[in-house]
């Protein structure tokens, strides 16, 4: 099934259940993947996490309901799956910029977050050569910085070059780059690390468990080309494939003037 058709089915299910508890397992089934992969694909294609999308749609509808109906704030809070009116009011004000109790008097303050609709005619296929490798547990030693979804493309190469200047003379060329997700599903907060495969006391020990990995070979070590392969993987390859991801860091292995881009997958 076309990934955009699957995503539209996900959106339809969400819309039909905004006033109910959303079953994330059901969303995963609609995309024929696991929950981790479903959330990752949704965020990368739509530019918003599925959790944020659901919250924004609920708050958007809540504003309409408060203005057009006579329900109390507590009733609207319960209707849209909030545990109490305080947490609802806080989220509502952050989204709309106005307290729920003031909506009737200030309807122009309300914001609309529209329902997503994906174009099912977008071509998906683009050839990407890959192999599947099984790697034993890896012990790496590295250093990282916090970054996010929006700035990592700039932060990662800048940090890499900064660390290379510091460590090149003492320890040689950096072996790995690594992207870590703070909660690996819903957060835009990332970490980018550089790492060596040899023990270095001043760097932090990192344990990468044994796993199967998708391996994509890039014939250079240029940041822009690595970022393109990463982007193409998530936006084009993964949505069309049957692979389920494991919540492990993404690895970039630098050697012999090439880069191996490694993504952990389930058996």
Q: What is the mean pLDDT of residues 192-200?
A: 97
Query: pLDDT tens across 168-195, in order?
Result: 999 999 999 999 976 544 556 789 999 9
pLDDT at 27 over 70: yes
pLDDT at 23 over 90: yes
Whether residue 100 is found in the same domain as residue 22: yes
Whether residue 86 is found in the same domain as residue 153: no
Whether residue 97 is found in the same domain as residue 135: no
**Residues in CB range of 25: below 8 A, 6 or more apart:** 35
The range of the structural domain enclosing residue 240 comes to: 131-265
Looking up residue 38, the CATH number of its domain turns out to be: 1.10.10.60
What are the two backbone dihedrals, phi and then psi, of residue 208, each rounded to the nearest 5 degrees? Answer: -105, 115
117 part of a folded domain: no
pLDDT at 236 over 90: no
Whether residue 75 is found in the same domain as residue 149: no
Interhelix angle for 3-16 vs 50-68, to 10°? 40
Q: What is the mean pLDDT of residues 105-133?
A: 81
DSSP 116: P
Q: What is the mean pLDDT of residues 196-223?
A: 95
Whether residue 250 is found in the same domain as residue 167: yes
59 part of a folded domain: yes
168 part of a folded domain: yes
Whether residue 51 is found in the same domain as residue 103: yes
User: 107 pLDDT band (50/70/90 cuts)?
Assistant: confident
123 part of a folded domain: no
Percent of the chain with pLDDT over 90: 65
Looking up residue 256, the CATH number of its domain turns out to be: 3.20.80.10
Q: Kindly tell me the sign of the dihedral angle through the C-alpha atoms of 137, 143, 146, 147.
A: negative
Lowest average pLDDT, out of 64-78, 118-132, 159-173, goes to 118-132
| Range list of β-strands (E), 136-200 | 138-148, 176-181, 189-196
Lowest average pLDDT, out of 40-44, 63-67, 243-247, 256-260, goes to 40-44
Residue corresponding to tokens 């122009």: 108
Whether residue 228 is found in the same domain as residue 164: yes
DSSP 229: H
Whether residue 81 is found in the same domain as residue 148: no
Whether residue 64 is found in the same domain as residue 141: no
Query: pLDDT tens across 213-222, in order?
Result: 999 999 999 9
Whether residue 136 is found in the same domain as residue 255: yes
Alpha-carbon span 186 to 189, nearest angstrom: 9
Boundary-marking domain end, from 46, 79, 109: 109
Whether residue 95 is found in the same domain as residue 196: no
Whether residue 136 is found in the same domain as residue 259: yes
Domain count, the chain: 2
Lowest average pLDDT, out of 117-121, 207-211, 236-240, 259-263, goes to 236-240
């Amino acid at each position: 099934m076309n990934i955009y058709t699957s995503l539209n089915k996900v959106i339809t299910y969400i819309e039909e259940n905004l006033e109910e508890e959303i079953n994330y397992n059901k969303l995963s089934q609609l995309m024929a993947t696991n929950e981790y992969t479903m959330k990752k694909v949704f965020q990368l294609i739509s530019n918003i996490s599925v959790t944020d999308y659901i919250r924004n749609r609920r708050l958007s509808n809540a504003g309409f309901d408060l203005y057009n109906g006579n329900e109390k704030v507590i009733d609207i809070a319960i209707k849209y799956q909030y545990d109490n009116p305080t947490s609802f009011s806080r989220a509502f004000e952050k989204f709309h910029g106005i307290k729920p109790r003031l909506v009737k008097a200030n309807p122009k303050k309300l914001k609309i977050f529209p329902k997503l609709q994906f174009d099912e005619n977008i071509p998906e296929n683009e050839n990407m050569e890959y192999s599947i490798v099984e790697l034993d547990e890896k012990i790496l030693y590295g250093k990282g910085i916090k970054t996010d979804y929006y700035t990592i493309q700039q932060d990662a190469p800048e940090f890499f070059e900064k660390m290379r200047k510091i460590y090149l003379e003492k320890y040689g060329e950096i072996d790995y780059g690594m992207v870590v997700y703070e909660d690996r599903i819903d957060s835009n907060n990332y970490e980018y690390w550089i790492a060596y495969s040899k023990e270095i006391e001043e760097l932090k020990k990192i344990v990468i468990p044994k796993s199967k990995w998708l391996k994509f070979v890039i014939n250079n070590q240029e940041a822009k080309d690595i970022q393109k392969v990463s982007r193409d993987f998530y936006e084009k390859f993964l949505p069309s494939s049957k692979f389920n991801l494991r919540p492990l860091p993404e690895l970039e292995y630098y050697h012999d003037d090439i880069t191996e881009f490694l993504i952990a997958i389930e058996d």
